[in-house]
């Protein structure tokens, strides 16, 4: 596996691969890789000739008081995992390469950036949209792979790519979970053993929503109430939101209609903020 740290080198290498007729797949990550990331790399491997995994903890998507400084990092481990998962090129630039002195240009996707995650993290999606735009310009991929766990991010990136006419395919891979259903996340490492045990309530609450909808419940308020009840019994520090939205527009709904609804939630255990979601199809749409 080749390691690239400079912007110009990455651009030149991507251009060379395209000239050779290679199909490029890119997997943007912030590192501290886990099985969820590896599934993205493996998916990119199946859809491309050359896989670029990016590893960059993006300061622009962290707000004041968030966990930028303590975000877990382990480059040698990431290098080994990325190689074994099928990465050909690991692009790991320094912050000064991506945001040099005098940097002043940002990308923003309106509306979806200000709801749910955007309400609690007002500058987060501006940072996401900016870094994704830069990484796509640098790696010149034919396909880019993201995870369903970050459903709002995935929706925003699809919108970004469509609105700015990026000539590439966006793939969204299923969420990878632990045995008790907790979605894999680099931030799970922050949880104490007691918090980790209680955090399994996120998946249980989503499965309860799925069961209610399968049974014919069509009131978003009723589904939300029972989801909140399961989460509350786990004694979280805070429930930021439980929302039911249309997967194709990310607009909240009060009456549930086919073909599907996305249930999204954000919950804090101690100082750790976890997100999860599930797209639930209606029985008549299966």
Instruction: Give the burial class of 21: count Cβ atoms within 10 A of its Cβ; 0-12 exposed, 13-18 middle, 19 or more buried.
Output: exposed
Give per-residue pLDDT as tens, 188-216: 999 999 999 999 999 999 999 999 999 99
Q: How far apart are the two ends of the chain, measured CA to CA in Å?
A: 42
| CATH numeric code, 2-173 | 3.40.50.620
Q: Please state whether beta strands 238-245 and 260-269 pair in parallel, antiparallel, or not at all (unpaired).
A: antiparallel
Torsion of CA 159, 165, 168, 169, to 10 degrees: 30
Task: Identify the sign of the CA torsion 118, 73, 168, 10.
Answer: positive
> In the prediction, which pLDDT does 285 show?
58
Domain residue ranges in the chain: 2-173, 186-280
CB atoms within 10 A of CB 200: 16
Give per-residue pLDDT as tens, 103-142: 999 999 999 999 999 999 999 999 999 999 999 999 999 9
47 is catalytic: no
Rounded distance between C-alpha atoms, residue 131 and residue 262, angstroms: 26
Cβ atoms 158, 132 nearer than 8 A: no
DSSP 3-state assignment of 24?
strand
Cβ atoms 23, 140 nearer than 8 A: no
- pTM comes to 0.95
Give per-residue pLDDT as tens, 61-84: 999 999 999 999 999 999 999 999
Q: Class of the 186-280 domain?
A: alpha beta
The single residue of 37, 47, 124, 142 carrying the catalytic annotation is 37
């Amino acid at each position: 596996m080749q390691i690239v740290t400079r912007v110009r080198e990455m651009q030149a290498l991507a251009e060379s691969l395209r000239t050779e007729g290679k199909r490029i797949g890119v997997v943007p990550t912030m590192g501290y890789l886990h099985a969820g990331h590896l599934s993205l790399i493996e998916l990119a491997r199946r859809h491309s000739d050359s896989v670029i995994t990016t590893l960059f903890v993006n300061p622009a998507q962290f707000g004041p008081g968030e966990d930028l400084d303590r975000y877990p990092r382990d480059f040698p481990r990431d290098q080994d995992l990325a190689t074994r998962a099928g990465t050909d090129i690991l692009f790991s630039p320094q912050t000064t390469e991506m945001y040099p002195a005098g940097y002043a240009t940002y990308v923003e996707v309106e509306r979806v950036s200000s709801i749910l995650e955007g309400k609690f993290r007002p500058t987060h999606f501006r940072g996401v949209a900016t870094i994704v735009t830069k990484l796509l310009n640098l790696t010149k991929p034919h396909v880019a792979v993201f995870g369903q766990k970050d459903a709002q991010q995935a929706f925003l990136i699809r919108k970004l790519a469509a609105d700015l006419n990026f000539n590439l395919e966006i793939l969204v891979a299923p969420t990878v979970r632990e045995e008790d259903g907790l979605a894999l996340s680099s931030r799970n490492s922050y949880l104490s053993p007691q918090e980790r045990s209680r955090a399994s309530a996120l998946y249980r609450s989503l499965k309860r929503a799925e069961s209610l909808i399968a049974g014919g419940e069509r009131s978003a308020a009723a589904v939300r109430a029972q989801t909140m009840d399961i989460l509350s019994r786990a004694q979280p520090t805070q429930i930021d939101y439980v929302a039911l939205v249309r997967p194709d527009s990310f607009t909240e709904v009060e009456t549930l209609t086919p073909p599907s609804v996305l249930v999204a939630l954000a919950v804090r255990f101690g100082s750790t903020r976890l997100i999860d979601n599930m797209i639930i199809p209606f029985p008549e749409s299966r």
